[in-house]
Structure 1
């Protein structure tokens, strides 16, 4: 399959930039809905998770969320492009997770070439995923 440079840039920039967005799957049209989604309604799931950490899988998206993480040092045959330039690839991988496994993914580009700093950054984000 042949794709031109112009087609690739157009795909990634229009009509909305990038390939991912956050779309709520709960109602959030009214003040009541928003009060359930955030404050004060969010307090009850927080309390349940505090009492039982496994409840996080009942009340949040943690069970269906992955991080696609890179520091950009080895990008798909493009080499070391750095964290920022790896973003389109990481977004693309998150799209593949959604399209083929219905798993939500978020791209995280870590500006750290030192392996231990990169490992630490990912480890510190562990509770989110």
Structure 2
């Protein structure tokens, strides 16, 4: 049976009245039944391997997403980008792709999601789209 997951990221620095010497970031993957697809802001259903990749992408350090075509690499990257953007608004994230076409696809999906303001995105490279 396939499990469905929701990703929740909590940065204890952003929780009022929570004082700790060492701030902790908690990533929780919970199983739950998906709401009807028309009410769901994120229309992608992730496999357990993709959820693990998303969790890895939210950890400090470098994250590489590799795999054969059609395995959901771009969808996983877009989810990581959205989680980082909303969970750590003062931090910057750099994305590097192997081709301009891959970067174009990534930006199209980020923009289609609609929850990241375009003024916070900067695309560098040849062959960029208007």
TMscore range, shorter length: under 0.3
Q: Which structure shows the higher helix fraction?
A: 1
* Structure showing greater Rg: 1
TM-score (structure 1 length as normaliser)? 0.26
TM-score (structure 2 length as normaliser)? 0.25
